[in-house]
Amino acid sequence: MRALPAPGRRCQIVRFAAVGGVNTLTFYACYLPLHRLLPYFAAYTAAFVTSMAGSFFLNTYFTYRTRPTWTKFLLFPLTQVTNYGVQSAGLVALVGWCGMNTAVAPLVAALCALPFSYLVSRRILRPSAPTGPSTEAGPPPVRSGGPA
């Protein structure tokens, strides 16, 4: 029998899921209007790229409780490449093979990609030291408001 994750890890998974929910709502709010103007896959791609920046800041500050850096910001798209790949494959399979409605399929595909996205983002965004504030060296932190 497999042991449950440590309480701190469970909280992190819950926070990751909450951020994923907010990010999914942001994505969907972009996708639906674009879907009226573009083919579903083009609308999906544009909405996905649009929601990526918010996801980065929510995950660094809220999920992993670390400071954003330029290095993490530049590496973060790797988490999204994984997420995009798994979701895209799921989207095409759900629409093309299963005949699922193109308005609903992105949500189902996002749920399927959640575990993969968590593992990759945790690897990139989580500070190397498990306790205390992040002491990692690197470029100055990315600020969300105005010029640095």
Task: Give 24-61 pLDDT, tens digit per residue.
Answer: 899 889 999 999 999 988 998 889 888 888 888 998 99
Give the Å distances, CA to CA, from 22 to 25, 29, 32.
5, 11, 16
pLDDT bucket at 82, cuts 50 / 70 / 90? confident
> CA torsion 132→82→52→43, rounded to 10°?
-160
Contact 86, 116 (CB under 8 A): yes
pTM greater than 0.75 (yes/no): no
Report yes or no: 13 and 33 within 8 Å, Cβ to Cβ: no
Residue 36: the pLDDT is 95
